Amino acid sequence: MAFFLGLIAFTFMAYLLGLFIPISLFANIPANMRVAITVMFVIIGIMHLKSPDKLRYMIDQFVPYPTAAIYVSGVLEILFGILIIFPTTRLFAAWGLILLLVLMFPANIYVAVKQLPAPGGLPSSPWYTWSRLAFQPLYIYWIYLAAIK
């Protein structure tokens, strides 16, 4: 939910910037959505690299080398998040982000089923961890609208 609010906020900020700075980066709503994707995935990727220990509990029961997996996912989130801005790499990056979201979905299911706290200091109430599952398809659709459609 926090990620979704970030997507909305940064899309709106990019739209406002586009009113004053007429460049292709802010040319239309899909472009503004891509800026938001870049900002949010770079932030999340940095969080993965900075604090892998805060995320390991989500995958250490079923992913071998969980810390390495967290580092790899963080690097890929940053890489794909940046590449989605450029027309020549946009499609590749969009599908890469979608694949990452699909691969991370079981970890979010695990957190909800086991009633574990949400990562990153987010609310640990069951309603929040279960509601996070509903947002994952929305993130995929956001990426699709911004970069594939």
Predicted pLDDT of residue 123: 66
Q: Is the pLDDT of residue 145 over 90?
A: yes
Identify the band that residue 125 occupies on the pLDDT scale cut at 50, 70 and 90: confident
Q: Looking at the 3D structure of the chain, how many domains does it have?
A: 1
> Can you give the residue range of the structural domain that contains 90?
2-148
Rounded CA separation 119/11 (Å)? 24
Mean pLDDT on 19-47 = 94
pTM above 0.85, yes or no: yes
Mean pLDDT on 26-52 = 96
Query: In angstroms, what CA-CA distances link 61 with 31, 50, 64, 130?
Result: 39, 21, 8, 19
Q: Is the pLDDT of residue 126 over 70?
A: yes
Arithmetic mean of pLDDT over the chain: 92
